[in-house]
Structure 1
Amino acid sequence: MRISSLIVAGCVIFSLYLVIFEREALLAFAAGGAPDSETVGSSDDTAATEDDTPAVPVVVLASTAQQIDQVVLLRGRTEAMRSVEARAETSGRVISEPLRKGAFVEAGDLLCEIDPGTREVSLSEAEARLAEARAALPAARARLAEAEAALPAAEAAIVEARTRVPEAEARLAEARASVPTAEARLLEAEANVPAAEAGLAQARAGIPAAEAGVAEARARVEEARINLNAAERLSDNGFASEVRLASARAASEAAKAGLQLALSQQEGAKATVQNALSAVEGAKAAVSAAKGQVESAKAAVQSAMSGVEAASAGVISAQSGLEGARAAVETAKSSIESANAGIESAEAAVAAARKEIDNLTISAPFAGLLETDTAELGSLLQPGSLCGTVIQLSPIKLVAFVPEAQVDKVELGAMAGARLASGGREVTGEVTFLSRSADTATRTFRVEIMVENENLTIRDGQTVEIAIRAAPQTAHLVPQSALTLDDEGTMGLRVLEEDNIVGFRPVEILRDSRDGLYVSGLADTADIIVVGQEFVIAGVRVKPTFREASQ
């Protein structure tokens, strides 16, 4: 045993004696005088020292911080990697032999089989309905193709009908434009009738004069004939001269010529009357013709209006035909959708029937151990009834709960070790899960560690002590005896500051070791009082004796 260890032990015992039994004297000695009520009750960290107070000898450890691995210590349990209760999804009687608990099963191994009953018949019926629904689809597609083929003809018919409307309207406009012309001609013809009738009246008025001239001319001819006869008789009897006879003859010829002229004038007057009558008839005929043209123009307008109405009716009919064609297309599409819906419904029925048949066999979802017996032969299972429980123990999880103060020290992928409470077996693994949500009751976070368990020697629910490696941290290695408390009960170390003045530093214990405690809260280098720290307070000047960390 080292002499330094004995010295340290003696110093510690002596220090404890002074602190416990001679505390007032010790405080008075440290203060440099007799204690009073104010000095005894004051804090050792705030007491002042006099310059002439004798320095207290202490042993100081010159310590340098070093990097140490942190470990988060937890207590947890083992938990199966996977656990599932295989339950029935349909009802029926079990027809398979049961498997006993503890048996190892592979993924896909049969656990329970249910009597199929009439499910095969239901599947055949569903498949027949599916075939019928699929057979109806080509006919619906053919109707759609036919309806779509008729659609362009209906669209062309409406385009053609629409082109007829402008033509009919143009003919109507032309017919309406001819009506004023025919009416103007009618007015002109009606205006010519009075003039023709006036000419006729004038011509008729000349006939009496012409007849009077004829009568006068005939009277002159008769007179001239009488005078000629008289002249001839007188000339034959020698009572008249040849000159008189010649004059009578000339007068007779002249009278005849005048009669001919009067007759000619009478015929001319009659011809003028006939011409006037013809003119009147022609004027009346022109009026009648003009009226006919007006009627014809109005009839053409009516015909053109009928043509416009017929063209518009043709457009409406073509639109109806187009709408009918489109309706036929939509109907055909609806038929296809209905056929597709029928197919989908039939496929769903087939899938449901097949699923119902698949549900007759309950298989192991993964390789593992049977925790319970599977359902007994002949037992009746209902949906949700338990067939068996399968657990997977390789690998296995170690589950613990990290306090809120230490959760930041744990990281995913960190190495971890564990010791089983039964037998002390040690295993290693790594952190695979760290909860992001704290437990509302305990304010702790779930952590999972994956550990190999090929031989299945670790059971579900065993208690384990877990150590999780955390990030390295700077710490000082100090003797456990160097720790002390201030008057407020804060744990810390007394350190040597400038001019050999004592200071107090609170520290946190990170972990212990055979050589002492690793603490944090100090600077990278620190002079720690390891002997005599109980005899001094903060602010007191001391006489240090340094020693190396290995002593």
Structure 2
Amino acid sequence: MRILSILAALIVAVIVLAFTIERDATMAYLRGDAAAETTDQPAAPPPSTAAQAAQPAAPAMRVVALHSTARDVDSAVVLRGQTQAWREVEVKAETSSTVMSEPLPKGTFVDAGQLLCKLSPGTRGATLAEARARLSEATAAKATAESRVPEAQSRVAEAQAKLDETLINQNAAAKLSEGGFAAETRVKSADAAVASARAGLESARASVQAAKSGLQSADAGIEAAQAAVAAAEKEIERLDIHAPFAGLLESDTAELGSLMQPGALCATVIQLDPIKLVAFVPETDVSRVHVGAMAGGRLAAGGDDVRGQVTFLSRAADPVTRTFRVEIEIPNSDLTLRDGQTVEILIATDGAPAHLLPQSALTLNDEGTLGLRTLGPDSVVQFQPVKILRDTPDGIWLTGLPDAVDVIVVGQEYVTAGVTVEATFREAAE
């Protein structure tokens, strides 16, 4: 028992020594570090410079690159919109009557001014005849009124002459009375004659004014009669409803015998030649678009490309989407484009230098920026942020690069900026 106690004490002493004084060596040994076995041995001297030179260097990463030169290309604003008829009008009735013409089927091409709906005249012919008769009556009344004016004027002249005569008699009577050769009654009689002549002159002048008023009344009657005639004629014109422009009927014209009220639909006419492409430009691109710019479109459902010019660019943004309406005029003589079709629109803008590169060459850096890995001096890898200008079947056009650059197209995902690589070059695609 004494020997066991001594051995246990020795074991405890060794453990305490190992985890206190030789703690680092013990922990390294327990981790399997080979250096722990040689902690008591002197460290080996570093290798000499000659030995380092003799060791082979790690081989550089191999990549494939190509030489790319910038070229001026036409950039474009890409939008998604729809086709819209150049004009669309709902032709409606302006009067009440029944349709007396055969209906035209929808899809029929009509010329400008072609009859669409003919309404029954009813009693409108009699109304026009009555209005014309009143016009003739008013014209005759004017002739009578015109003849009364000279008659009234002659009465004024007669009254003026009579007044002059009475004034002379009054003057003679007054002088004779002053000399005692005439009685006072003669003077009074002369004065009364003068007053009567003046009253007659005023009456004649009033008759002239009455004659002129009658003439003006006759003129007013003629104008009223003329207005009645014009209204009756216009009412008859409204019986024939014509196409306002050349186009296609989008609906059947009104059926024979149907009653038309003011505002009732006769037909819908649309003009598809030319046709409009309508889209909305974001405010970030509106400065790149201007009226007169060349533009093109391709139907979403397939079809040939169409070309035209920008004819309208809104000056006010939509209050909800903050976009600006743009319209493009497209010739459509064969009427292949229909109203309301979805279309992809490209509006040409000023050209910019760009590189045509394979889309697979694009990559992201650690910050998530889209760009390319290129070769700098001494084949050191660099990262170049880029901006996509246009995507084509031959590759992708990129801007933001120098005029000439060596782009890594194979192996760019396995290298980072600052690494030296061994590059093999290949020909760029035309």
TM-score by length of 1: 0.52
Structure 2 contact 135–225 (Cα < 8 Å) conserved: yes
The residue number in structure 1 matching 2:36 is none
The structural deviation recorded for 1:377 is 1.8
Confirm or deny: 8 A CA contact 2:68 2:428 kept in the other structure. Answer: no
Question: Residue 3 of structure 1 corresponds to which residue in structure 2?
Answer: none
Alignment-derived partner of residue 432 in structure 1: 311
Report the CA distance shift for 1:543/1:488 in structure 2 as closer, same or farther (over 3 A). closer
Measure the CA separation in 1 of the matches of 2:159 and 2:397: 97
1:358 paired residue number: 237
Aligned residue among 412, 416, 424 for 1:535: 416
Report how far residue 154 of structure 1 moved. 9.2
Q: Which residue of 1 aligns with 2:133?
A: 128
Match of 2:285 in 1: 406
Partner of 2:77: 72
CA positional deviation for 1:418:
2.0
Match of 2:343 in 1: 464
Higher normalized strand content (fraction of residues):
2
**Offset from partner CA, 1:202-254 (integer Å, 9 cap, x none):** xxxxxxxxxxxxxxxxxxxxxxxxxxxxxxxxxxxxxxxxxxxxxxxxxxxxx
Aligned residue number for residue 117 of structure 2: 112
Distance 2:160 2:308 in 1: 78
CA offset at residue 94 of structure 1? 1.7
CA contact (8 A) 1:143 1:332 kept: yes
Q: Which residue of the other structure, out of 225, 228, 236, is the alignment partner of 1:346?
A: 225
Q: Deviations over 1:476-502 (max 9, x none)?
A: 545546655566544456789999999
Give the Cα separation in 1 of the matches to 2:359 and 2:203: 101
Trace 1:197-216 onto structure 2 (pairs within 5 A).
Answer: none
Mapped pair 1:378 → 2:257: yes
Structure 2 distance, partners of 1:89, 1:436, is 36
What per-residue deviation string (whole Å, max 9, x for no partner) do you get for residues 249-297 of structure 1?
Answer: xxxxxxxxxxxxxxxxxxxxxxxxxxxxxxxxxxxxxxxxxxxxxxx89
**Could you tell me whether the CA contact under 8 Å between 1:434 and 1:445 is conserved in 2?**
yes
What amino acid does structure 2 have at the position aligned with 1:535? Answer: T
Unaligned runs of 5+ in 1: 1-54, 173-295
Whichever residue aligns with residue 116 of structure 1, its letter is: P
Instruction: Choose the corresponding residue for 2:301, options 422, 439, 452.
Output: 422
Aligned pairs for 1:110-189 (under 5 A) are 110-144=115-149
C-alpha distance after superposition, 1:142-195 (max 9, x if no partner):
44556677889999999x99x99xxx9xx99xxxxxxxxxxxxxxxxxxxxxxx
Q: Deviation of residue 507 (structure 1)?
A: 4.2
* Aligned counterpart, 2:86: 81
Q: 1:426 to 1:329 in 2, by over 3 A?
A: farther
For the pair shown, the structure with the greater C-alpha radius of gyration is 1
What is the rounded CA distance, in whole Å, between the counterparts of 1:440 and 1:488 in structure 2? 35
SS at match of 1:400: strand
CA distance in 2, matches of 1:332, 1:491: 96
Tell whether the 8 Å contact from 1:420 to 1:464 is kept in structure 2 after alignment: yes
Q: Shift in Å at residue 126 of structure 1?
A: 0.6
Query: Which one of 90, 94, 98 corresponds to residue 93 of structure 1?
Result: 98
Cα root mean square deviation, aligned = 5.0
Task: Give the SS at the match of 1:454.
Answer: coil
* 1:447-489 deviations in Å (ceiling 9; x for gaps): 2223333333332222222222223234454554665556654
Amino acid across the alignment from 2:116: L
Contact 2:69 2:405 in 1 (8 A): no
Does structure 1 conserve the Cα–Cα contact (< 8 Å) formed by 2:374 and 2:382? yes
- For the residues of structure 2 that align with 1:154 and 1:491, how far apart are their CA atoms? 110
Q: 1:59 to 1:432 in 2, by over 3 A?
A: same
CA distance 1:502–1:381, shift in 2 (3 Å): same
Asked if structure 2 preserves the Cα contact closer than 8 Å seen for 1:57 and 1:542, the reply is no
> Take 1:60 and 1:152, find their aligned partners in 2: how far apart are those partners?
118
What is aligned with 1:9?
none
Identity %: 54
Instruction: Please give the secondary structure, in 2, of the residue aligned with 1:471.
Output: coil
User: Where does structure 2 lack aligned partners over 5 or more consecutive residues?
Assistant: 1-59
Higher relative contact order (CA 8 A, sep 6+): 1
Rounded Cα–Cα distance in structure 2 between residues aligned with 1:328 and 1:341: 20
Normalized per residue, which structure has more helix?
Answer: 1
Whichever residue aligns with residue 282 of structure 2, its letter is P
Change (3 A) 1:157 1:409: farther
Partner of 1:51: none
Q: Conserved in 2, the CA contact under 8 Å of 1:419 and 1:466?
A: yes
| TM-score, reference length from structure 2 | 0.64
Instruction: Give 1:133 deviation, angstroms.
Output: 1.6
Mapped partners of 2:370, 2:251: distance in 1: 55
How does 1:201-240 map onto structure 2 within 5 Å? none
Closer, same or farther in 2 for the Cα pair 1:413/1:320, shift >3 Å? farther
